[in-house]
Amino acid sequence: MAEAGSWRTPHRLALLALGVATVIFLVGPMLVVIPMSFTGAKILSWPPEGFSLQWYAKMLDDPQWSRGFVNSMQVATLTALVSTVLGTLAALGIVRGRFPGKGLANALILSPLLVPVIIIAIGFFAFYSVTRLTGSLPGLVLAHTALAVPFVIINVGTVLRTMDRNLEMAAASLGADPVRTFWRVTFPIILPGVFAGALFAFITSWDEVVVSIFMTSTRFRTLPVEMWEQVRQVVDPTVAAVATVVMVVTTTLLLLVLVARRQAPSR
């Protein structure tokens, strides 16, 4: 027993070290941006020189960054709303429905998760060049919705597959019609999944840059596209300040997703 215990301890320490190294490898490059945003130097450099908040002040004073932030919030909010409605309905149809080609329909809806984003961007650009939706708010929302809907379907579908159908049958036996049963029984149970899916949809739109580069114009740019354009033109620590704000928003939303997922089994 002692030998087994002595073997397990080094084994666990090795796994822990490997896990920590993996996390540092994945997260480290992003965390480096944070101290760079407080540098006193005029260009991006490592290690940071001094401490200054001037780049955050410049970010707030520059109308390009403020417009990009507002545009991103508008697009991400609308994308989350549209994706949540469409994704929830699609999840109900896929999980509960019985129709020919159900598997094919599910695969097509989830295909944006497998297809390279650049291919999706080129496809939307070709379609929008005909419909003249390029550079418009509705066009960008529709494109982001195509990318975000699969995340809503996955989250809502997971909760639907694990919920107790007897609750719905009990409500029906008491005289509740399907609509009343959905709003009074089903929806409160799947709400954590719906909320998590909505947050994932918001994050998908908030961080999206490849499709947005094809869909936006000089008059309408989201924050990631504005960051991309600034990096191409000027190596300015303001970009690091904006990146830090974007990471804080994304991390906060991901924490909310974890909270929503933990609440789902308790309902």
Tens digit of pLDDT per residue, the chain (267 long)?
Answer: 455 555 567 777 888 888 778 877 777 777 777 777 777 777 777 777 777 778 788 888 888 888 888 888 899 999 999 999 999 998 888 887 777 777 777 777 788 888 888 888 888 888 887 777 777 788 889 999 999 999 999 888 888 888 777 777 787 777 777 778 888 878 888 888 888 899 889 989 988 888 888 887 777 888 888 888 877 776 777 788 888 888 888 888 878 877 766 765 444
Chain-centre distance for alpha carbon 198? 9
How far is residue 146 from each of residues 68, 108, 113, measured CA to CA in Å? 21, 11, 10
The structure tokens 């301890």 sit at 9
Q: In which residue are the tokens 């961007």 written?
A: 121
Which ranges of 163-222 would DSSP assign to H, the alpha helix? Answer: 165-173, 178-181, 187-207, 210-215
- The pLDDT assigned to 149 comes to 92
Place of tokens 């540092």: 24
Contact 174, 109 (CB under 8 A): no
Only one residue has tokens 């990471």, namely 247
Residue type, 138: P
Coil, strand or helix: which one is 216?
A: coil
* Residue 30: how many other CB atoms lie within 10 Å: 13
Helix, strand, or coil here: 38? coil
| Answer CATH for 62-266 from 3.90.1150.10, 3.40.640.10, 3.40.50.300, 1.10.3720.10 | 1.10.3720.10
For the chain, the structural domain boundaries read 62-266
